[in-house]
A = this chain, B = another copy of it.
Amino acid sequence: MDLQQLARLVSDKTGIPWGPRNAERALAAVFVSDSLWEIAHKSDEPLPAVSALVGLLLEEGMLRASSEGIFLTEDGKAFCESMGVSPFEDHTCPSCGVRGLSLDKFKGALERFYEIQRDRPEAAIRYDQGYVTPETTFARIALADGRGDLRGKDVIIFGDDDLVGLALAMTGLARRVAVVEIDERIVEFEREAAVKLGLNFEVIMRDVRLPLPQELLKRFDTFFTDPPEAAEAMRVFVGRGISALKGVGGAGYFGLTRVESSLVKWRSVERLLLDMGVTITDIIHHFNEYVNWGYLEQMKAWELAPVKQFPSKNWYYSSMFRIEVVESVEVPNADATGRDIYTDSESSTV
């Protein structure tokens, strides 16, 4: 057995394009992780592929599973060594993680936000939800503020289980904040918070898969969204965002994981973005940290997991993309309801 063969077995089983480098990354993470979730996080490999790999290594006796988690056996260590695999090395900044950002200027708003968000609706599998930490929500605001995309600007958020709309309204930075959200619970929660805190922001209950109405087209400077990971969902959500922008100079922010998207899918997403007239200005690794959600056992990932182990730490992260429009390209505003835009072979948290 070598990395090439291991990668082929994983690829055959999952339909995900895998090579020796992917297998190596996953093994490097196995050294320093005791759970499937953390291996997926640290390796940046899709969870279905990591599941298949762990299953194979358990069969081969290179991994063993106990009540404490999963560990490399002596055989497994010897195999890694013979393949030249080193343990994953971490050099992330202890003070900001990997974001390069300080939240100091939002300290007060963040503390108020902690209070308000306590009663937020829990993540629902129906809408492929999974919300980020309050720090991540404010890191998005700090990032966009540092890029000049918020002050005096008109901002729209497509899907807001992360409560970016609420947090942004609390800072008072933007001229206009509009949220488009399908989930009645979030709509109600944000509308109530707006009344309670005397905030000025609009929460529009609407399915993002529906074409944008005239009154939201070409009206905004900045958008945020956090689409489901399937390529088709990226196209629809980011497409809506771009359609909502006034044009050249408008900016958009969204996340893309490695957990549910191989770099092959990433490339097709990047191509799609460039074709929509934008430049990718930032891709910040592991920027978005998601809070573990309640529907783990209903997910495809749970079914795939060769060891049924709950994550003890947050493990689902995504890279933050910032895009900026440099050419006005007409993005189709077609109806995407009635199609499954949520799943493909790499998705697993739905």
Contacts and interface: CB of A to CB of B under 8 A. Distances in A.
A255 to B, nearest CB: 14
Question: What's the number of copies of this chain in the assembled complex?
Answer: 2
A105 interface: yes
Given A19-B248, A248-B21, A283-B281, A91 B102 contact: yes
A326 B278 CA distance: 22
B95 A98 contact: no
Contacts of A28: 148
Contacts of A279: 263-264, 266-267, 270
B148 A264 contact: no
A155 interface: no
Interface in A93-138: 93-105
A25 interface: yes
A84 interface: yes
Interface in A61-104: 84, 86, 88-104
A142 interface: yes
Contacts of A97: 100
A280 B280 CA distance: 9
B281 A280 contact: no
A95 B17 CA distance: 38
Contacts of A2: none
A249 interface: yes
Contacts of A319: 281-282
A86 B153 CA distance: 10
A146 B93 CA distance: 12
A209 interface: no
A151 interface: yes
Contacts of A89: 105, 145-146, 148, 151
Interface string A249-277: 11000000000000110110011001000
Given A89-B151, A263-B326, 10 more contacts: A17-B326, A19-B248, A20-B249, A21-B249, A91-B104, A92-B102, A93-B100, A93-B102, A94-B102, A282-B285
29 contacts: A22-B249, A24-B249, A25-B148, A86-B148, A88-B148, A89-B148, A90-B146, A91-B101, A91-B103, A91-B146, A92-B100, A93-B96, A95-B95, A95-B96, A99-B100, A100-B284, A100-B285, A263-B281, A263-B326, A266-B281, A266-B326, A267-B279, A267-B326, A270-B274, A270-B280, A280-B280, A282-B283, A282-B285, A283-B283
